[in-house]
């Protein structure tokens, strides 16, 4: 160690050392950042990034070495033999590219480390080839122990560098990779030089054709400046392009593709910011909830294209009348929510009346109306969910009064809440009485149209009310916590039925956020698989993004434990949340399910098509299969097939039906394409159903 320190401080000039270190630090940081792009890229783009990262990395190694050599103080005249000097540059670039290539395609730590070892040993090869071209009037005497130590240090820190890049992205891993490469270069050079002793010998003459120190200084400086400038500019341009794409994708994720209004995620974000923003004690927030009367009639009589035209017209009119401090969003099919801050009661009623006037203006196919419910904050609401719920309650009261009515929320309207509590009690009794049953919907291959799996959906056949929509009972189950018991019943019943099928199709079962948050979920799934005998590979758990946002670490651990059982995990309703991009980077999903809201408009709406296309491209780059929901016609499946989507689900192939409707398919009696499924009531899918 003392010999190495002596070599650095005594035998090298300080200005050259500083210059070499600056080049080494800048070049190493840039090289490892470029290498991260190699890991994330595919195809020709991967090759381009590999060439650039290897070229910059090799040039960094080479220039660091020769700048340090230019500062190496010797008692005899010296120079550099051209052929070996250029060969050392080629060796540095080639070995760095090869090492990065192996580390970029490897999936296990051993191969990733092996790629790093090649990069490290390439540093040593460049060093000793460069020294071989170092011409002096004397002889070079080597101490073997230092040479061996330099090789070990090169391989060790090279392996650490690539391993740090390939770990989950953290600040330590990102900077640790560059630091490891810096140490590999610096320690290899100075440990090797510590083992070198120059013995002057007047009988040894330097060759006539050598590169002098002055020429070498200019050559090395020019090469490194050009390489660093090229690499940095390329990286910056790509980073800016990526950032622009992310911002564009975020915009698409936060806006409704049909109307270009803000969607539910954007509205929640905006409302949360208003509530949490410091304000004067007299400031208030009003939430206005409304939907369109007679909208279903327009869809039924004139078709969905007419309904889309009505929604776009209404959205455009509402956007036009919004003023400072006012915000409107489309949060469902024909459901809208507006918010205004710093209002008086008359102001909120005035905005509601202006919206009603705009909605009531004639539209091409028909005239629609609305009724608006208003809730206020601060008021009786304790949470944002309460605030929105109160606005909905007020809206339903307004709708029961007359068309184009405006109603403010009052506590007496909470009769509906009492009815929900009664329904919650009936749910528990209904589960015990066997009133719940499983329905199934096909999941099909876009090319062969054959069935690749079945999604399990939950239905409640109430003895008095008939089928109750999951949209009505699932939110109640979630709010009361009954969803955990109900969800476990669905999992057990679905696995038990699927285990009896002769045709071993995969089943997909929705898991609610509360279930995912339950520490016992992986254990419950494991127990159910053992009890029913269903192979784990036939079970696919579907989770929504809302189920993982609250506690990323807990959700990640639960998903990993499920995958360790052999169960597949799919992300449901992709595109409806604004953090989906970062979610896919963090969680090991086996499948992405594109929400039906985007599929419905892929043929007629550019924004829907852009979101679906972007999702397919992103999933392909991450090697994650995609299933598109809501496929209702041949135009949908043609678009999805062209864009590379391999699996679909929707009414084109059949509506959800009970076990009796899929008996022939699951027992292999007839081809899947001939099966006519039993039609079920058309309802929106919930977190479990």
pLDDT score, position 250: 65
Of the ranges 110-119, 511-520, 530-539, 594-603, the best mean pLDDT one = 530-539
Look at residue 167 in the predicted model and tell me its pLDDT.
Answer: 64
What pLDDT, in 10s, does the model give residues 104-159? 887 777 888 888 899 999 999 998 998 888 877 777 888 888 889 999 999 999 88
What DSSP state is assigned to residue 447?
T
394-430 confidence digits (pLDDT tens): 888 888 777 778 888 888 777 666 777 788 889 989 9
Q: Per-residue pLDDT for 240 more than 70?
A: no
Phi, psi for residue 545 in degrees, rounded to 5: -65, -30
Q: Inform me whether the pLDDT recorded for 467 exceeds 70.
A: yes
| Cα gap 603→24, rounded to integer Å | 53
pLDDT tens profile 37-50: 787 777 777 888 88
Given this model, what pLDDT does residue 168 score? Answer: 53
Instruction: Name residue 542's beta-bridge partners.
Output: 510, 570
Task: Give the tens place of pLDDT for each residue, 244-282.
Answer: 666 666 667 778 888 888 888 888 888 888 777 665 544
The pLDDT of residue 279 = 58
Alpha carbon of 673 to those of 107, 482, 487, 648: distances in Å? 39, 38, 30, 14
* Distance in angstroms (rounded) separating the CA atoms of residues 266 and 312: 18
Burial class (CB in 10 A: 0-12, 13-18, 19+), 544: buried
pLDDT of residue 408: 87
DSSP 485-497: HHHHHHHHHHHHH
Helix, strand or coil for residue 615? Answer: helix
Residues linked to residue 633 through DSSP beta bridges, in sequence order: none
Give the number of C-alpha atoms closer than 13 A to the C-alpha of residue 143, restricted to the C-beta side: 14
**pLDDT single digits (tens) 162-219:** 888 766 554 445 578 888 889 999 999 888 888 888 777 666 665 656 666 666 666 6
Round to whole Å and give the CA distance between 604 and 608: 8
Sorted by sequence, the CB contacts under 8 Å of residue 482 that are 6+ apart come out as 424, 427, 428, 476
pLDDT for the residue numbered 392: 86
For the cut 90, the answer to whether the pLDDT of residue 533 exceeds it is: yes
pLDDT in the model for residue 241: 62
The model's confidence at residue 66, banded by pLDDT at 50, 70 and 90, is confident
Angle CA 624–629–635, to nearest 5: 105
CB–CB of 518/555 below 8 Å? no
Tokens describing residue 673 = 């394409």
Q: What is the pLDDT of residue 327?
A: 87
Other CB atoms within 10 Å distance of the CB of residue 585: 12
> What percent of the chain clears pLDDT 90, i.e. is strictly above it?
21
Q: Considering only CA atoms, which of 352, 358, 371 is closest in space to residue 310?
A: 358
User: What pLDDT is recorded for position 423?
Assistant: 83
Any idea which of 364-378, 544-558, 574-588 has the lowest mean pLDDT? 574-588
Name which of 531, 527, 586 is nearest 560 in CA terms: 586
For residue 572, the model assigns a pLDDT of 86
Residues contacting 544, CB < 8 A, separation 6+ = 513, 571, 572, 573, 577, 687
- Which residues are designated catalytic? 629
Give residue 251's pLDDT.
Answer: 65
Please report which confidence band the pLDDT of residue 234 belongs to, taking 50, 70 and 90 as the band edges.
low
Structural tokens at position 383: 């949470």
Q: Which residues contact 385 (CB under 8 A, 6 or more apart)?
A: none
Give the span between the Cα atoms of 8 and 3, in whole angstroms: 9
Evaluate the omega torsion of the peptide bond into residue 385 and state whether it is cis, within 30 degrees of 0: no
Strand partners, 375: 287
- pLDDT at site 680: 33
**What is the model's pLDDT at position 112?**
86
d(C-alpha 243, C-alpha 585), whole Å: 15
Sheet holding 285-293, edge to edge: 326-330, 335-341, 285-293, 369-377, 406-408
Please determine, for residue 567, whether its predicted confidence score (pLDDT) is greater than 70. Answer: yes
Number of neighbours of residue 141 by Cβ within 10 angstroms = 10
pLDDT score of 394 = 87
CA dihedral 303, 308, 314, 320 (to 10 degrees): -160
Distance between CA atoms of residues 529 and 568, nearest Å: 13
**Nearest of 293, 323, 298, 319 to residue 309 by alpha carbon:** 298
Q: Which of 472, 451, 475 is nearest to 460 (CA)?
A: 472
Asked if 482 and 428 count as a contact pair (C-beta separation under 8 A), the reply is: yes
């Amino acid at each position: 160690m003392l010999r190495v320190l002596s070599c650095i401080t005594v035998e090298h000039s300080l200005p050259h050392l500083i210059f070499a270190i600056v080049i080494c630090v800048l070049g190493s940081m840039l090289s490892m950042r470029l290498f991260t792009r190699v890991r994330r890229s595919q195809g020709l783009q991967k090759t381009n990034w590999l060439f650039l990262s290897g070229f910059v990395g090799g040039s960094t190694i080479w220039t660091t070495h020769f700048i340090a050599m230019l500062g190496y103080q010797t008692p005899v005249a010296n120079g550099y033999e051209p052929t070996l000097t250029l060969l050392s540059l080629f060796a540095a670039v080639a070995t760095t590219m090869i090492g990065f290539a192996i580390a970029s395609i490897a999936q296990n730590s051993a191969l990733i480390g092996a790629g790093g070892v090649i990069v490290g040993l390439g540093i040593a090869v460049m060093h000793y080839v460069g020294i071989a071209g170092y011409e002096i009037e004397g002889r070079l005497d080597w101490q073997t122990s230092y040479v061996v130590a330099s090789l070990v240090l090169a391989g060790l820190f090279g392996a650490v560098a690539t391993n740090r890049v390939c770990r989950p992205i953290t600040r330590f891993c990102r900077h640790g990779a560059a630091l490891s490469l810096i140490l590999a270069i610096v320690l290899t050079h100075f440990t090797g030089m510590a083992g070198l002793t120059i013995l002057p010998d007047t009988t040894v003459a330097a060759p006539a054709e050598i590169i002098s120190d002055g020429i070498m200084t200019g050559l090395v400086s020019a090469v490194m400046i050009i390489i660093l400038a090229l690499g940095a500019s390329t990286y910056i341009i790509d980073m800016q392009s990526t950032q622009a794409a992310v911002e564009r994708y975020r915009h698409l994720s936060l806006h409704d593709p049909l109307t270009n209004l803000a969607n539910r995620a954007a509205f929640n974000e905006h409302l949360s910011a208003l509530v949490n923003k410091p304000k004067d004690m007299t400031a208030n927030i009003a939430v206005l909830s409304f939907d369109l009367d007679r909208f279903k009639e327009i869809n039924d009589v004139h078709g969905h294209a007419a309904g889309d035209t009505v929604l776009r017209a209404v959205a455009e009119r509402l956007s036009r009348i919004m003023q400072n401090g006012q915000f409107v969003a489309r949060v469902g099919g024909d459901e809208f929510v507006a918010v205004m801050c710093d209002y008086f009661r008359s102001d909120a009623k005035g905005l509601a009346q202006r919206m009603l006037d705009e909605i009531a203006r004639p539209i091409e196919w028909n005239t629609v109306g609305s009724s608006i419910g208003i809730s206020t904050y601060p008021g009786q609401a304790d949470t944002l969910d309460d605030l929105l719920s109160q606005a909905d309650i007020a809206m339903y009261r307004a709708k029961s009064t007359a068309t184009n009515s405006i109603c403010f929320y009052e506590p007496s309207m909470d009769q509906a809440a009492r009815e929900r509590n009664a329904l919650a009690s009936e749910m528990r009794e209904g589960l015990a009485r066997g009133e719940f049953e499983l329905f199934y919907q096909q999941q099909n291959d876009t090319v062969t149209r054959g069935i690749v799996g079945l999604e399990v959906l939950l239905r409640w056949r109430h003895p008095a009310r008939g089928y109750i929509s999951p949209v009505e009972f699932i939110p109640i189950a979630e709010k009361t916590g009954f969803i955990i018991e109900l969800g476990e019943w669905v999992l057990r019943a679905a696995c038990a039925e699927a285990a009896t099928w002769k045709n071993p199709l995969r089943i997909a079962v929705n898991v609610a956020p509360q279930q995912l948050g339950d520490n016992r979920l992986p254990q419950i799934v494991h127990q159910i698989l053992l009890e029913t005998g269903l192979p784990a590979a036939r079970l696919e758990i579907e989770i929504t993004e809302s189920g993982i946002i609250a506690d990323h670490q807990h959700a990640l651990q639960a998903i990993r434990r499920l995958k360790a059982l052999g169960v597949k995990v799919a992300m449901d309703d992709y595109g409806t949340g604004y953090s989906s991009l970062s979610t896919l980077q963090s969680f090991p999903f086996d499948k992405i399910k594109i929400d039906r809201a985007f599929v419905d408009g892929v043929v007629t709406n550019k924004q829907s098509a852009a979101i679906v296309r972007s999702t397919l491209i992103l999933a392909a780059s991450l090697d994650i299969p995609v299933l598109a929901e809501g496929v209702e016609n041949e135009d949908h499946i043609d678009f999805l097939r062209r864009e590379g989507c391999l699996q679909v689900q929707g009414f084109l192939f059949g509506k959800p039906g009970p076990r009796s409707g899929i008996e022939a398919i699951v027992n292999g009696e007839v081809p899947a394409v001939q099966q006519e499924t039993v039609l079920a009531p058309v309802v929106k899918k919930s977190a479990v159903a």
